[in-house]
């Protein structure tokens, strides 16, 4: 029978060989954590390699994603569709085995990791999703949502601020099915961490409300097993298992040093490592006995089949609930949703309310909420300002996780990364809110949502200098450009109740990426549209006001500045000018339309164009050209009443008219 050490050494061998073949990568973490991984994956992890998407599988997250060969080795050895050729192709173009774990490339990779701390926060989100979904669907007779989230992390993850945010909330919410393994090897890229990292990690996590199991020998299989058993006994608190390990374990001349952290071991050291480990096999050679010791396919199939039997029994007992759970796990939108939301959009057009778009957003949520029980909202301590609470909102707590709203506290970064984990888990459509300016705190998590193409909805209010007296620290200027420049992300800045409802509809129905919804603090006037024109809003940009007679100039605007554009167009029309107003709530969606439609809205032979938006001006030159003008921001704001600021920075009807007159070519 193959020993546990030999099974672990297979990870070490594959990791050092793949990094060497690629001539880049990180062998140290995989070699150091191999023993922990072997105990977890062979003794505790609930998964089925032949069906990586089985809903009730355990989630495994490698937060220290630079150690990706650890994960790829585990997936290959345990029977996932990841071949030895894939491992040989490590870090190469279009490989399943990317440099850091990439969601959607290799089967069994639950989330994209690499930016340290992101994976840990994703894991907290997954654990929260499991707890909340279980509270909503499980019964005394049927435990259909019953799995754990396991996370590996290193010193770097714990240095990142996001770990403080996410782990503090994990303790407060009592996420007892979250178990994290801290690879305490004392080494980072720059060397021994004692020069810059002296936290008392045990006390820190105990203060968060975690169960902490300290001083585990990360190379002793019995000690690791005993620690996991202890973790499993406590479902009321998340658990941190602190494992003392040797980075690069097995490399006789480089283990325990930074030299094996982020570079290949080198041919001579690999030869020496094989001798030290007693690994008598060539590069990428794994004995059949080792494969047999790792193979999890049979056990995983049995676990999944048991769950399917329980689900079938649940379906017999409560067919409607079973179908609802299945629908939510598939990520399917209810059949009647589109019709009902379209009816609501028509009602908004008919009512014609003049309200802040943040209030319009809340009213939309009141309409959406009963239609979409999978909506899991939240705010970073600004629920009363973001207006993300709706009439049916119920807070998720440690004692009662059956709610649909998470009070994230002042944790914009963790909130955003946790929402990514919630979306990846399946069963929910997460949305979370803060002020637009504080998107900056969460920027990397927003980027990761886009990179992974997850249906996550970022709600950002207080969207311009119009918020006024709070001053430039709170007034966003460059943030819209940053969001719009992010691939796979759609950014909506609606001008009234109608566009706000459409923005929500499109964010929910889009299943190939996230959306950012940008809402105002100040009141915005309703804009009239014919009933047949309402669908045009979904295209991201459309003609709101048509020119009278010959088209002389086009004004493009978003959000709070659309009303300025309309007023300016009306004044210019009185002077005999043919002015078209284009509302462009989502430039990315507009640019995704066919060229015929785009040409119908912005005819290329009309060069007299002005864009108006209370944000950084430079973005809009792609639409107005170098001969056009942009009424926008080129500086930070100031502290003053919003109306005064808008006038000071040129957001007036008179200034828009002047800009349009300046671009006339006749």
Q: How many CB atoms lie within 10 A of CB 622?
A: 11
Rg (CA), the chain: 28
Only one residue has tokens 């060229």, namely 595
Instruction: For residue 337, give the H/E element and its range.
Output: helix 337-351
Q: In what order do the strands lie in the sheet with 149-154?
A: 59-62, 149-154, 178-184, 239-244, 211-217
Instruction: List, in order, residues 6 or more apart from 192 with CB less than 8 Å away.
Output: 186, 258
Cα 196 to Cα 199: distance, rounded to the nearest angstrom: 9
The two tokens of residue 491 are: 């950014």
| 85 assigned to active site | no
CB 70 within 8 A of CB 62: yes
Cα 579 to Cα 553: distance, rounded to the nearest angstrom: 5
Cα 251 to Cα 276: distance, rounded to the nearest angstrom: 7
Query: In 3D, which of 351, 342, 651, 343 has the Cα closest to residue 526?
Result: 351
CA distances from 500 to 341, 421, 435, 477, 517 (A): 12, 26, 17, 21, 8
Instruction: List, in order, residues 6 or more apart from 384 with CB less than 8 Å away.
Output: none
The secondary structure of residue 395, as a DSSP letter, is: B
Q: Which of 102, 160, 165, 412 is catalytic?
A: 412
The two tokens of residue 412 are: 């914009």
CB 357 within 8 A of CB 559: yes
> Strand 191-192 to strand 187-188: parallel, antiparallel, or no bridges (unpaired)?
antiparallel
The secondary structure of residue 333, as a DSSP letter, is: P
Angle between the N-to-C axes of helices 118-137 and 443-451, in degrees from 0 to 180, rounded to the nearest 10: 70
Instruction: Give the CA count within 13 Å in the CB-facing half-sphere of 492.
Output: 32
Separate counts of helices (H) and strands (E) for the chain: 26, 20
Instruction: Give the CA count within 13 Å in the CB-facing half-sphere of 11.
Output: 33
Cα 384 to Cα 365: distance, rounded to the nearest angstrom: 14
Bridge-partner residues for 73, per DSSP?
none
What is the number of residues in the chain?
Answer: 666
Cα 345 to Cα 332: distance, rounded to the nearest angstrom: 21
CB 149 within 8 A of CB 30: no
Bridge-partner residues for 239, per DSSP?
179, 211
CB 78 within 8 A of CB 48: no
Q: How many CB atoms lie within 10 A of CB 159?
A: 16
Cα 360 to Cα 526: distance, rounded to the nearest angstrom: 11
Cα 330 to Cα 587: distance, rounded to the nearest angstrom: 29
Active site residues per annotation: 412
């Amino acid at each position: 029978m193959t020993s546990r050490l030999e099974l672990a050494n297979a990870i070490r061998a594959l990791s050092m060989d793949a990094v060497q073949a690629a001539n880049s990568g990180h062998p140290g973490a995989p070699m150091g954590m191999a023993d922990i991984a072997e105990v977890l994956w062979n003794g505790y992890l609930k998964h089925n390699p032949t069906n990586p998407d089985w809903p009730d599988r355990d989630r495994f997250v490698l937060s220290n994603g630079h150690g990706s060969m650890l994960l790829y080795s585990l997936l290959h050895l345990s029977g996932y569709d990841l071949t030895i050729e894939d491992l040989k192709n490590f870090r190469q173009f279009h490989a399943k085995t990317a440099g850091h774990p990439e969601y959607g490339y290799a089967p069994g990779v639950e989330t994209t990791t690499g930016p340290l701390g992101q994976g840990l926060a994703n894991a907290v989100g997954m654990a929260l999703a499991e707890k909340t979904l279980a509270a909503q669907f499980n019964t005394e007779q049927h435990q259909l949502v019953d799995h754990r989230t396991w996370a590996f992390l290193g010193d770097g993850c714990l240095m990142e601020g996001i770990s403080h945010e996410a782990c503090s909330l994990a303790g407060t919410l009592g996420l007892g099915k979250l178990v994290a393994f801290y690879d305490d090897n004392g080494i980072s890229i720059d060397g021994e961490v004692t020069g810059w990292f002296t936290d008392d990690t045990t006390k820190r996590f105990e203060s968060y409300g975690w169960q902490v199991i300290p001083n585990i020998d990360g190379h002793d299989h019995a000690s690791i097993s005993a620690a996991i058993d202890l973790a499993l006994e406590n479902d009321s608190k998340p658990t941190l298992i602190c494992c003392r390990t040797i980075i690069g374990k097995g490399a006789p001349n480089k283990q325990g040093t930074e030299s094996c952290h982020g570079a290949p071991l080198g041919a001579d050291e690999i030869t020496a490592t094989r001798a030290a480990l007693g690994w008598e096999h060539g590069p990428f050679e794994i004995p059949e006995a080792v494969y047999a010791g790792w193979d999890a396919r049979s056990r995983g199939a049995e676990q999944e089949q048991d769950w399917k039997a329980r689900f079938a029994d649940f379906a017999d007992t409560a067919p409607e609930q079973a179908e609802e759970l299945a629908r939510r796990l598939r990520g399917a939108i209810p059949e009647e949703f589109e019709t009902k939301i379209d009816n609501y959009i028509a009602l908004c057009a008919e009512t014609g309310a003049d309200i802040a778009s943040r209030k319009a957003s809340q009213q939309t949520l009141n309409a959406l909420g009963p239609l979409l029980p999978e909506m899991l909202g939240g705010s970073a301590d600004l629920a009363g300002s973001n207006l993300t609470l709706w009439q049916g909102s119920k807070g998720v707590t440690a004692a009662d996780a059956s709610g649909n709203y998470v009070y994230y506290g002042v944790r914009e970064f963790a909130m955003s990364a946790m929402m990514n984990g919630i979306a990846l888990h399946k069963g929910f459509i997460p949305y979370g809110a803060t002020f637009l300016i504080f998107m900056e705190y969460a920027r990397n998590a927003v980027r990761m949502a886009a990179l992974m193409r997850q249906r996550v909805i970022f709600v950002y209010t207080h969207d311009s200098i119009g918020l006024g007296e709070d001053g430039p620290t709170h007034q966003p200027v460059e943030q819209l450009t940053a969001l719009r420049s992010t691939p796979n992300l759609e950014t909506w800045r609606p001008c009234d109740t109608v566009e706000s409802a459409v923005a929500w509809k499109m964010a929910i129905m889009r299943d190939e990426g996230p959306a950012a919804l940008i809402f105002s603090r100040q009141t915005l006037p309703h804009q009239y549209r014919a009933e047949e024109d309402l669908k045009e809003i979904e295209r991201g940009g459309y003609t709101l006001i048509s020119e009278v007679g010959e088209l002389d100039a086009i004004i493009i605007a978003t959000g709070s500045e659309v009303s300025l554009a309309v007023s300016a167009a009306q004044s210019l029309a009185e002077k005999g000018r043919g002015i078209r107003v284009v509302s462009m709530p989502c430039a990315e969606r507009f640019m995704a339309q066919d060229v015929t439609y785009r040409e119908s809205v912005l005819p290329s032979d009309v060069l007299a164009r002005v864009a108006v938006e209370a944000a950084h001006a430079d973005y809009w030159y792609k639409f107005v050209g170098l001969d056009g003008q942009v009424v926008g921001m080129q500086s930070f704001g100031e502290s003053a009443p919003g109306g005064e600021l808008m006038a000071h920075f040129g957001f007036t009807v008179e200034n828009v008219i002047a800009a349009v007159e300046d671009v006339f070519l006749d």
